[in-house]
Amino acid sequence: MVFLGVDIGSSATKLIAIDKDYNIAGRSVVQLGTGTAGVERAVQQFYESSGIRRDEIGWITVTGYGRSQFGEANNQISEISCHARGMVFLKPSVRTVIDIGGQDIKVIKVDAKGGIVSFTMNDKCAAGTGRFIDVMSKVLDVPIGELGDYDAKSDAALTISNTCTVFAESEVISKLSSGNSIPNIVAGIHQSVARRVAGLAFRNGMEKEVALTGGVARNSGMVRALSKELKYDIVIPDDPQVTGALGAAIFAREKFSAETT
């Protein structure tokens, strides 16, 4: 018997299954989110890669922006609770979880059990989110997975002064056409996002240890820039994009036990 967590985000769909001993039994990630074929594709990929059958799944908990669209789930839980729970499961000493996804930033203070102490979110603007970075990666023609390597080659981050994605996009194009190096522009983009995230984190207050979850944590340039702005070392899970799905799977495991005992 396994327990499935499904995280349907704005940019990506993530599935994690755990067994009764909390070992990972299956995983899939498709970089397409709610309202797309991503959900169906991620579910299919999950069954194919794990070999798990539908009748072996005891409980399904769904989370994420698109959670209400997934009719197969037994229950829904907010992504704030799932990221908190998933991260503290992976590293119990974490007390602040910063989740940067495709369309929002969340700063969550957590207790030793992964419960929420307080949280704050950005407004509905793309600045400081994965979406901002995705737009800039297209303008620069650098794949999202290579931004970290470009950032590592920078000798001086260029200041991107516009926070609005549309204006920042024009600014990046103009910096490109003035002959600035791509690594320095990439480092400037990361610095701009990191400042935005740090501003939110300082407003909420942070306690050590601080962890970064969500797809943007896969970008080593963003991790470097954020550590510099926060002046903290940041804990990064091995597979940061699935932290919310893992939290959902843990809730599924517990919900199943509660309902069947």
In the complex, the residues that contact ligand ADP under the rule CB under 6 A are 9-12, 31, 33, 64, 101-103, 130-131, 133-134, 144-145, 214-216, 218-219, 241
Least distance (Å) from ligand ADP to the CB of residue 257?
27
Give 201 or 256: the residue with its C-beta nearer to ligand ADP. 201
Least distance (Å) from ligand ADP to the CB of residue 190?
11
Least distance (Å) from ligand ADP to the CB of residue 137?
8
Least distance (Å) from ligand ADP to the CB of residue 18?
19
Nearest Cα residue to 175 out of 166, 60, 114, 184? 184
Angle at 12 between CA 9 and CA 15, to 5 degrees: 85
Q: In b/e form, how buried is each residue of 11-41, taking b as 16+ CB within 10 angstroms?
A: bbbbbbbbbeeeeebbbbbbbbbbebebbee
Helix 220-230 × helix 182-204 angle, to 10° = 50
Least distance (Å) from ligand ADP to the CB of residue 123?
16
Give 217 or 250: the residue with its C-beta nearer to ligand ADP. 217
Handedness of CA 106, 109, 110, 115 (dihedral sign): negative
Give 145 or 205: the residue with its C-beta nearer to ligand ADP. 145
| Tokens representing residue 76 in the block | 């829904």
Is the separation of the CB atoms in 12 and 29 below 8 Å?
Answer: yes
Least distance (Å) from ligand ADP to the CB of residue 175?
20
Give 94 or 256: the residue with its C-beta nearer to ligand ADP. 94
Give 225 or 256: the residue with its C-beta nearer to ligand ADP. 225
Taking phi first (over 0 means left), then psi (-120 to 50 degrees means alpha), and beta for anything else, what does residue 179 get? Answer: left
Give 19 or 228: the residue with its C-beta nearer to ligand ADP. 228
